[in-house]
Amino acid sequence: MKIFLYHTPELTPVQNVADCAIAIDVLRATTTIVKALSVGAEAVQVFSDLDKLMQESAAWAPEKRLRAGERGGGKVAGYDLGNSPLDCTSERMHDRRLFMSTTNGTRALEIVQASPSVLAAALINRRAVVDYVLSQRPETVWIVGAGWEGSFALEDTVCAGAIAHSLLAGLNCTLEELAGNDELAAAVALYEQWKDNLLGLFHLASHGKRLLRLDCHDDLKYCAQTDVLDVLPIQREIGVL
Give the residues lining the site for ligand 3SL (CB under 6 A).
25, 27-29, 70, 73, 83, 102-105, 146, 211
Of the pair 53, 167, the CB lying nearest ligand 3SL is at 53
**Closest CB 25 distance from ligand 3SL, rounded Å:** 5
Q: How far apart are the first and last CA of the chain?
A: 24
- Cβ closer to ligand 3SL: 119 or 146? 146
Shortest Å, Cβ 14 to ligand 3SL: 19
Neighbours of 221 (CB within 10 A): 13
Min CB(227)–ligand 3SL separation in Å = 20
How does 72-86 read in b/e, with b if 16+ C-beta sit within 10 Å? ebebbeebbbbbbbe
Question: Residue 121 forms beta bridges with which residues?
Answer: 24
Residue positions counted in the chain? 241
The secondary structure of 30-71, three-state, reads HHHHHHHHHCCCCEEEECCCHHHHHHHHCCCCHHHEEEEEEE
Taking alpha carbons only, the member of 84, 121, 78, 25 closest to residue 211 is 84
In the complex, least distance from residue 160 CB atom to ligand 3SL, rounded to whole angstroms: 16
Q: Which CB, 74 or 170, lies closer to ligand 3SL?
A: 74
Please give the Cα distance from 108 to 88 (Å, whole number).
21
* CB 100 within 8 Å of CB 29: yes
Nearest-approach distance from CB 28 to ligand 3SL, in angstroms: 4
The nearer residue to ligand 3SL, 105 or 233, going by C-beta atoms, is 105
2 vs 152, which CB is nearer to ligand 3SL?
152
